[in-house]
Structure 1
Amino acid sequence: MYPNDGFRELGRHECLRLLATAPIGRIVYTRQALPAVVPVAFGLDADGAVLLRTSMSSEPARAVDGAVVAFEADAADADTHSGWSVVVTGRAGLVTDPAEVARLDRVAPRSWAPSPDEVFVRIEPELVTGRELVGGRTMYGLHLPI
């Protein structure tokens, strides 16, 4: 990245702070040896782990258990040409401990598509990266698209 390209690298703490403000993110996993991307409602646990609540019969729940996945969320303002993007990469797993499931049932966000066979997916934040576009990119007085 070039020093004056309008982007600022974000530290882990700032990434997690911004991530906590986003209502929707995208989980990226492998389907038939290709990347699959699914939008999901999510929350963050106290340790920064990404939490998803989904149907046990959903493809993401079946595909991600034990796999390394990426999770991305962002925000953008088209008027000010500013925004941010955060990516969490880590191992995903289904939460099976009954005490942990009970705790998450109280604190984790509700699914937008409730199901009787809901499970929690936890993504451990092994690598957390992000960047912010501040005030857009200008050249010769013109705003350039992101």
Structure 2
Amino acid sequence: MEPSEEDPITPLDEDECWALLRSAEVGRLAVSVRGEPDIFPVNYVVDGRSVVFRTAEGAKLLELTINSRVAFEADGWDERFAWSVVIKGAARRVEREVEILRADTLPLRPWTATLKYNYVRIEPGEVTGRRLLRGEEPERYPV
């Protein structure tokens, strides 16, 4: 069901969420370490019903080893609608050779000229999304 002026925000079912995630390339990875939130933009691909991204050694990978619970969000828009999908789940570094070889076949390339040897897979616990009708804000203080 599409949003309307009467109901400008509609929930997406899980299949719609995955289809929209497949249509985007960039998302945001939200982590929490020792109670402090952090967020990282990542380019990603959908592999089945999980999200995979590459990363170099550093803060992002370290934070995932301390606390694997993450949120991942991607969104998009056109002239009429916008959408947002959020995954809450567990992120783990891909370490088994067979998994790394499979990940190497995914269409995932870094956007920056840096070497990124580490694959991370986000396994979802919960997938939610919504589609929004874009438009002007209604009059806040009617006369």
Runs of 4+ in 1 over 3 A off after TM superposition: 114-117, 135-140
- State the distance in 2 between where 1:68 and 1:25 align: 16
| Cα 1:101/1:114, change in 2 over 3 Å | farther
Superposition deviation, residue 110 in structure 1: 1.2
Counterpart position of 2:84: 85
Counterpart position of 1:110: 109
Superposition deviation, residue 33 in structure 1: 1.9
Aligned residue identity for 2:61: A
Counterpart position of 1:38: 40
Counterpart position of 1:121: 120
Counterpart position of 1:53: 54
Aligned residue identity for 2:27: G
Unaligned 5+ segments in structure 2 are 1-5
Aligned residue identity for 1:133: L
Helix, strand or coil at the partner of 2:31: strand
Q: State the TM-score, normalizing by the size of structure 2.
A: 0.83
- State the distance in 2 between where 1:19 and 1:137 align: 26
Superposition RMSD on alpha carbons, in Å? 2.1
Q: What fraction of aligned residue pairs are identical, expressed as a percent?
A: 34
Superposition deviation, residue 108 in structure 1: 4.2
- The reply on whether 1:29 has 2:28 as its aligned counterpart is no
Tell me how many residue pairs correspond in the alignment.
Answer: 134
Counterpart position of 1:70: 71
Q: Is the 8 A contact 1:54 1:115 kept in 2?
A: no
Superposition deviation, residue 134 in structure 1: 2.4
CA deviations on 1:29-85 (whole Å, 9 max, x unpaired) are 014422111111000112x11101111x121111113511000000134x53x2000
Unaligned 5+ segments in structure 1 are none
Q: State the TM-score, normalizing by the size of structure 1.
A: 0.82
